[in-house]
């Protein structure tokens, strides 16, 4: 089983829980509380990942990374998005310098502001 399969399967499962009963699913509870709660949870998990990294304990780093990824996938599902959407963006970026990719986004954002699209 590949990492790709696991992330896509989890993403599909999370999308299926968008309308689930919050009393039966932690994910459904997060959806019911709305985006602010999901974002708060992502912030908490990122802080825990930072602390795990500073401690240098590999098992804790892996566990906290999994928590961050899970909660980001919950946020994506809240917005009707999934791992496939992220995979497509990663494929688009493959082979492009990070510096060039950031420049391209900055240029697009600047153009949107100038044209009044934001």
DSSP class per residue in 51-77: HHHHHT-HHHHHHHHHHHHHHHHHHHH
pLDDT of residue 112: 64
pLDDT of residue 88: 93
The per-residue pLDDT for range 73-88, each reduced to its tens digit, is: 999 999 999 999 999 9
Interatomic CA distance for residues 64 and 53, integer angstroms: 9
pLDDT of residue 34: 95
Per-residue pLDDT of the chain (118 residues; tens, 9 = 90+): 676 789 999 999 999 999 899 999 999 999 999 999 999 999 999 999 999 999 999 999 999 999 999 999 999 999 999 999 999 999 988 887 777 677 776 777 766 665 666 5
pLDDT of residue 86: 93
What structural domains does the chain harbor?
3-114 (1.10.287.1080)
Q: Give pTM, 2 decimals.
A: 0.80
């Amino acid at each position: 089983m590949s990492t790709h399969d696991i992330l896509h399967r989890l993403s599909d499962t999370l999308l299926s829980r968008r309308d689930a009963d919050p009393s039966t699913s932690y994910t459904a509870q997060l959806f019911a509380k709305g985006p602010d709660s999901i974002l708060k949870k992502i912030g908490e998990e990122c802080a825990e990942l930072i602390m795990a990294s500073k401690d240098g304990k590999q098992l804790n780093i892996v566990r906290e990374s999994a928590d961050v990824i899970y909660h980001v996938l919950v946020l994506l599902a809240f917005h009707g998005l999934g791992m496939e959407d992220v995979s497509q963006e990663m494929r688009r970026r493959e082979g492009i310098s990070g510096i060039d990719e950031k420049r391209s986004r900055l240029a697009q954002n600047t153009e949107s502001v100038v044209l009044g699209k934001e």
